[in-house]
Amino acid sequence: MANALAAGAAKRLLEWAPKLAAKPLAVVPFSLKATMIRQVLEQVMQEQAQDGELDFLQGRQVAIRVTDLALEFAVSYDGDWLISPYDKSSAEVCFSASSPSLLLVASGKEDPDTLFFQRLLSIEGDTELGLEVKNLLLGIELETMPAPLRYSVQTLATRLQQLQQMAQPQPVVPH
C-alpha cells in the first residue's frame, strides 16, 4: 500500500513539476531568458569556442524547444552566442524534448540517440547540422562545467531518475 502511494505521488510530481515551473517562466521577459542561456553557453562551451569547434555554427540557427516548459529559442554562434526567439522559418534544425529528457542528456545519464528512438527527442530539419550539434554536445565533459551548474544538473538528474523509478508499477508478488 505504501509503495502504491509513493508511486502515485512520484507520478504526480513528475507530471506537475514542469507545469508549475512553466507558469513563472512564461512571465520572464525573453531578453532575460536569452541572457541566462547565453551565460550558460559561454561557460559550458568555452573550451569548444577556443578550439574552433563552434565554427560550423557561423551563420546558422539551431532551435531548441523545451516542450513542457513552453521554452523555445534559437541559437547561433559567430564568436559570440546569439539567442533569439524561435522562428521556424529561420532555424535550420530544431531539437524538441521535455525538460526531464533534456536534463538526463545534459547530465550524461541518457543518450540522445536512445531518446530519439523512443520518440522522446525530436530532431527536425537539416539532419547533418543536427548530427554535428549532437556530437558537439556529447563531447562536453560534465567535469568541465562550472561546479554550481554541474552539481545542480547532477543532483536534479539523480532525483529525476529516483522519481521515475518510484513511479514505475511494481510487480505484485503472490504470497
pTM attached to this predicted model: 0.84
Residue with C-alpha cell 507545469? Answer: 19
pLDDT of residue 158: 87
Q: Evaluate whether residue 97 is within a structural domain.
A: yes
- Whole domain around residue 121: which residue ranges? 2-165
Q: Evaluate whether residue 174 is within a structural domain.
A: no
pLDDT tops 90 at residue 17: no
| Angstrom distance (rounded) from CA 50 to CA 89 | 30
- 27: buried, middle or exposed (CB in 10 Å: 19+, 13-18, 0-12)? exposed
pLDDT of residue 168: 81
Tens digit of each residue's pLDDT (9 = 90 or more) over 158-171 = 888 888 888 886 66
Average pLDDT over every residue of 41-66: 93
Q: Evaluate whether residue 138 is within a structural domain.
A: yes
Average pLDDT over every residue of 55-61: 94
Number of domains in the chain: 1
111 φ/ψ sector (left φ>0, alpha ψ -120 to 50, else beta): beta
Domain containing 110 — which CATH number? 3.30.1050.10
